[in-house]
């Protein structure tokens, strides 16, 4: 499996929370080549099953939706006003290229008042949200013919390979971790592993981890690992908040981490000489782990993260080596965790 190409294909596809069909189609095709079964549930989660020796049922989850925009109003001159879907920082939206998903796809740009026309007091401030608009180059009548209130808008950005195995692009949060699950599945296709593994590309994470809640209830696993991004190190990030790119996945320690799964992951990583980092997380964060661990009667769960710079921008940056190491860690866990380990999870 060409992981770099899959990362590019998923990143450049459009799939705002609740409208994930395009990336879902891509990952369904990729997983169908490796898994025993691939299906979609009622909410749109893509679920792949890879049967092992039946020592327990492991759920691996990473979300496939992206933050985006929604048409809020079309003014009398044809400019499109919009609202955000998910956590955008408006300061990053100036001069972005976008795709408006109307009756047909329209290319547009996000415009704002240039510095030449700003008052002196405006030049030192961020643009107010109500001054942002999208220009698609059409008359108001034509825009209203093709675009409706509520239509989705996505950032248009091609993936760029930087030096070595570093890549930059949009929606790596969290499609890069779906690629990590694919790396895991590629390895499991070659071995006879202990746990039955259910990989889920979850939907609607950015608006409340909804897909994970549904998938965890439907799969009903014995244990689970959610995979999401954490902050990579870069200037301006505190040392205890940022993690190194190229030094492996990050294993979380905190309220959404089952201590026995944590210990087993570290043990397996050390035995297999897999590089990893540790994160002290003092509260349950807004990842799929949050919903999975409280599904049904409670599911033993932990969180593995991928270091990512510039989160929730269109130039999120990562190291492909971390994706590969993370996939290897997940595969080794499914290979080596056994029935005795699974049955011992309720015994703290």
β-strand partners of 84: 69
- With a CB cutoff of 8 Å and minimum separation 6, the contacts of 313 are 89, 92, 170
CB atoms under 10 Å from CB of 271, counted, come to: 10
Q: Give, for 60, the enclosing helix (H) or strand (E).
A: strand 57-63
Q: CA nearest 159: which of 321, 344, 5?
A: 5
**Strand, coil or helix: 329:** helix
Q: CA nearest 74: which of 152, 148, 153?
A: 148
Which is catalytic among the residues 12, 20, 66, 205? 205
Q: What value does the CA radius of gyration of the chain take, rounded to a whole number of Å?
A: 21
Asked if residues 24 and 64 have their Cβ atoms less than 8 Å apart, the reply is yes
Distance CA 10, CA 90 (A): 24
191: tokens are: 């071995």
**Strand, coil or helix: 52:** coil
Asked if residues 295 and 217 have their Cβ atoms less than 8 Å apart, the reply is yes
Is 205 noted as a catalytic residue in this protein? yes
Please identify every residue annotated as catalytic: 205
């Amino acid at each position: 499996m060409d992981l770099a190409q899959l990362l590019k294909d998923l990143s450049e596809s459009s799939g705002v929370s609740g409208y994930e069909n395009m990336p879902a189609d891509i990952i369904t095709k990729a997983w169908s080549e490796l898994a025993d079964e691939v299906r979609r549930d009622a909410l749109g989660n893509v679920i792949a099953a890879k049967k092992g020796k039946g020592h327990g049922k492991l759920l691996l989850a990473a979300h496939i939706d992206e933050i985006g925009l929604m048409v809020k109003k079309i003014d009398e001159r044809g400019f499109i006003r919009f609202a955000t879907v998910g956590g955008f920082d408006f300061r990053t939206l100036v001069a972005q290229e976008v795709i408006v998903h109307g009756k047909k796809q329209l290319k547009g740009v996000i415009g704002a008042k240039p510095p030449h026309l700003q008052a002196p007091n405006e030049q030192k401030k961020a643009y107010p949200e109500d001054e942002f608009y999208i220009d698609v180059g059409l008359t108001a009548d034509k825009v209203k013919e093709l675009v409706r209130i509520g239509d989705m808008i996505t950032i248009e950005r091609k993936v760029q390979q930087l030096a070595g195995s570093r890549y930059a692009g949009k929606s790596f949060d969290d499609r890069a971790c779906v690629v990590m699950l694919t790396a895991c599945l590629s390895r499991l296709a070659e071995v006879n592993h202990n746990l039955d593994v259910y990989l889920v590309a979850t939907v609607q994470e950015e608006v409340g981890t909804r897909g994970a809640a549904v998938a965890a209830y439907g799969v009903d696993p014995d244990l689970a690992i959610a995979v999401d991004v954490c902050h990579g190190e870069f200037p301006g990030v505190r040392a205890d908040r940022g993690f190194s790119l190229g030094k492996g996945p990050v294993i979380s320690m905190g309220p959404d981490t089952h201590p026995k799964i944590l210990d087993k992951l570290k043990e397996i990583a050390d035995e297999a000489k897999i590089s990893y980092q540790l994160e002290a997380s003092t509260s349950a964060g807004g990842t799929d782990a949050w919903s999975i661990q409280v599904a049904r009667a409670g599911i033993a769960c932990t969180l593995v993260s991928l270091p990512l710079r510039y989160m929730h921008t269109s130039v999120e940056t990562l190291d492909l080596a971390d994706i590969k190491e993370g996939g290897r860690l997940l595969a080794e866990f499914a290979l080596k965790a056994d029935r005795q380990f699974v049955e011992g999870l309720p015994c703290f």
